[in-house]
Each structure stands twice: as C-alpha cells, then as structure tokens.
Amino acid sequence: MPRFAYTARDRSGNTVTADLEAPTRKDALRVLGARGMQVAAVNEVSAAQGKASGRKPAASAAERTARRLDARELGRAECLPFLEALHDLATSGLSAGEAVRLLSIRIKEPRLRALCSGIWEQISEGAALSRAMASYPQVFDPSITNLIQAGEATGSLTDTLARLIAHLNEQREIRRQLLTAMAYPTFMVVVAGGVILFFLFFLMPRLQMLLTSMHGKMPASTSLLIGASEFLLRYGLLIVIAAVFAAVSFWRWRATEAGRAATDAWMLRLPLIGPFAVSRTVLSFSQTLSVLLENGITAAEALRMTEKQIDNRVHRAAFNVATARVLEGESLSAALARTGCFPDLVLDRLAVGENTGNVVPSLKQIAHAYQKLISNQLSMFTKVIASAVLMGVFVFVGFIAYSIVSAVFQVSASFRMG
C-alpha cells in the first residue's frame, strides 16, 4: 500500500509531520480529516513526480466550461450562507475539509453547491481552506480569507468563523436598515410625482378649455399653471431624455476614481448625508479592525485591510495617511486625530483603549454605539424626507386648488359685470 508523508496541525494547533499508509492520496486526506487535522501538505513518499504531486486527471472541456460558468454566477450573496453552514458543521466536531465535502453533497441550492464543490475539489488536492476560498475573490473578500488563514494557523477556526458571521450579519443589518429607510421616501416621491403629473397633463388642459370657452380673464396663478402644463406637454419628453442622459453621464463619471473622490467630498458637506457618511466610516472602521485584531491579524495588515472596507474615498485617503503614521510608530488615535475626519469622542475612546491595552474592546464599544447612532440617523432621515415630500405635495395641491377657485370666481365676476 502506498505511503504518504504529510504536514498538518492537530486540534491543539500543534504542527505534526509524519506519514501514513492509504490506498490513494484522497483516502489519506480523508483519514487526516477524520482525525481533525488541518492538512498543509500531503505527498506520496516513493512515487514518480507526477503521482507525488497528487494531481487529478485533467478535467474534460465540458467540466471546465461548467466550472467557469458556475464561477461567473457566484457572488457576495453566497459568502454568508457558506460560512454559516461551515460553522454549523465545524462546531459539531467535523474538520473543515470534511465539513466542506459534506456540504458539497448535501446542499440543494445550485450556486452554493457549486461553490462548495469547487472548494472541496481544491481541498481534496491538498489546498488549505483559506487558499481554496481565495480562488473565489468574487465571493470572499481578501480580509475574510486572511481571517480564515489566521484561524487555521492558530487552531481557532470555529471561533474565527463565529466572529466573521457576527460581523457580516451586522453589516447586512445596516444595509437592510438603509434600504428600508429609503423605501418609504421613494414611494412618497413616486406618488407625489404621479399626483403632479395628473394635475398638469390631465386636469389642467380640461380646465384651460373650460375657462377659454367662457372667455373670462384668468388670474396669474391659473395662467402660470396652464403655461407650465403646455410647456411640459410640448417639451416634457425632451426634458426626460435630457435628465436620463445627465443621470447616466453623472453615474459613469462617479464610477471613475476622480469622480468618486469628488462626489464623496460633496456628500460630506451636505446637512444630513455628511454626518451619516462619517458614522458609516466610523462603524466600518471599528467593526472591521476589531474583528481582524481579535483573530490574530497583525496591526499593519489589519490596518491595510480595514482601509479597503471604508467606502468614502476622502476618509479612505485620510485613513491611508494615518496608517502610514502608525507604522512609523505613532499611536492610532493620534494619527486619526491629524486627519480631522473622525469625531473627538471616538478618538478619546480609542486613546483610552490604547493606554489600557484594550484596543479591541474599545473598538467594539465604538461599533456598538455607532450602530445605534446610524439606526437613529436613518429613522430621522426617513421622517425628514417623507415630511418634505408631503409638504411639497400639499403646497402644490393647495396652489392648484387656489388657482382653480380663483379662476372660477374671476370668470363669474366678469359675467356679472357683463
């Protein structure tokens, strides 16, 4: 029976180098997985180079095409379900490799099953879980794969998965709150636009015909409404086309790095959006950095990964400068204070954490506080937008009612005078 030399980590996190007998390399990997070993390398001791590499026969063209199609269909949506399923099996005592193998068989959802199958295929060839996940950058962010790698190295993969899942769930909740907060104002804007268009395109032309047939003099407010209605009927389509073209052009310009930096700087100056952008940056920074440091990532690498999670380009550039100063020996709170982008209370909490050696707990407290603050800001934002839209609709409808009533009274008065 062939003999295989392996290097792996046991359940205690100790590195083990030994050999075992198994019919095939895959069988050797399964035996090690059943023992709870995190395999780093497995090679046949006395075999030809091609066999010692442990490579499988080349996949057929149809299999490679199907694999590429599956990879193109995958996205960030598969990340959290995969981690949750992996964590559930890992906490029950299975090794990471066996858990992924079981998921590739049991999961029914096509995309998630394709992801598990692809990861298991690489693990069965000797790749570590983190390296297999890194081959799917469209699904797993580099910070996630680095955290998984750190968990594998320290033997705390289950704890790492739990922290990752909690972190991703918090981010998903923030996105859900943002979408929910924008749903009602968007609905109100659509309804208000429909009401305005109904008055301008349906009601006003009929009112104009009625008043013209009565040969009465119309007041200025009515003439203004009728003129606006005629203008929109004549040039409305051109205005819509121009607006769509301008919006698409603006969106494409914003997609460029220069456009994104400029628009992010504008957003910071707006009354409601500016404070919300600052809160988002503080939450993203504190959540990501706390998770990275807690899982054993070095400070330099954690800061670089955290920088990539900051959406606002102005804040990202400022954080980049602060990271460079931290790497030169300056404290994080002092470096961030130089940027002028972070609130004083956040810097004070961070400084206390640095002085007491409790940076991670301080970051978690900041994240918890700003999660509540963002929820309150979203609620206030929703109320302000909804109130502004309702007020605009009421003012417009009131103006139309006033124009109609004043026109009727003025025409009636002209008839009595005649």
Confidence of residue 253 (pLDDT cuts 50, 70, 90): very high
Average pLDDT over residues 55-63: 42
CATH 3.40.50.280 given to domain 64-140 = no
Residue 66 has what pLDDT?
A: 43
pLDDT tens digits for range 301-329 = 888 888 888 888 999 999 999 999 998 88
Backbone Cα Rg of the chain = 31
User: In angstroms, rounded to a whole number, what is the distance separating the alpha carbons of residues 16 and 34?
Assistant: 15
Using the predicted structure, report yes or no on whether residue 215 has a pLDDT greater than 70: no
Residue 416 has what pLDDT?
A: 59
Report which of 286, 9, 40 is spatially closest to residue 156, judged by C-alpha positions. 9
Return the DSSP state at 77.
G
Q: Which two tokens stand for residue 154?
A: 């320290």
Residue 1 has what pLDDT?
A: 61
CATH 3.50.50.60 given to domain 170-389 = no
Task: Say if 64-140 and 170-389 have the same CATH topology.
Answer: yes
User: In angstroms, rounded to a whole number, what is the distance separating the alpha carbons of residues 128 and 119?
Assistant: 10
Helices (H), 199-272: 204-213, 220-255, 257-269
Any idea where the domains of the chain sit in the sequence?
3-46, 64-140, 170-389
The pTM assigned to this predicted structure is 0.63
